[in-house]
Amino acid sequence: MNEPIRRPRHEVVMINRRSLAISGVKNVESFDSEEFLLETEAGFLTIRGQNLHMKNLSLENGEVAIEGLVHEMAYLEQGQAGDRSRGFFGKLFK
């Protein structure tokens, strides 16, 4: 019989806008205290806020934990992530 294609699971759990646990993470493209850009099973996810820092990272398990005040989370459309992942110097020399 035809078995359904199983995609890896992607979950985002946020507690009080101060703590994030994210699964299904393929790669951490860039991060600083105000923005994280993650490649996930569901596409590129950007997280913006204040005093953001990585509490835990396990790419083998596809898990990232982030702490700080979260202002915004959004999935980027295809093509937008490349502009963000180049960082400051990539934008400067564009």
Query: Does residue 4 lie within any of the structural domains?
Result: no
Query: Does residue 37 lie within any of the structural domains?
Result: yes
Residue 29 neighbours by CB under 8 Å, 6+ apart:
37, 38, 39, 44, 81, 84, 85
Instruction: Look at residues 48, 31, 42, 30 and name the one whose alpha carbon lies nearest to residue 78.
Output: 42
Q: Which range of residues forms the domain containing residue 25?
A: 11-92
Query: Does residue 3 lie within any of the structural domains?
Result: no
58-62, 79-83, 88-92: range with lowest mean pLDDT:
88-92
Query: Does residue 5 lie within any of the structural domains?
Result: no
Instruction: Look at residues 45, 51, 12 and name the one whose alpha carbon lies nearest to residue 30.
Output: 45
pLDDT digits (tens, 9 = 90+) for 4-58: 666 678 999 999 999 999 999 999 999 999 999 999 999 999 999 999 999 999 9
**CATH number of the CATH domain containing 32:** 2.60.40.2000
Domain count, the chain: 1
**pTM to 2 decimal places:** 0.77
Query: Does residue 6 lie within any of the structural domains?
Result: no
Query: Does residue 69 lie within any of the structural domains?
Result: yes
Distance CA 60, CA 48 (A): 24
Query: Does residue 54 lie within any of the structural domains?
Result: yes
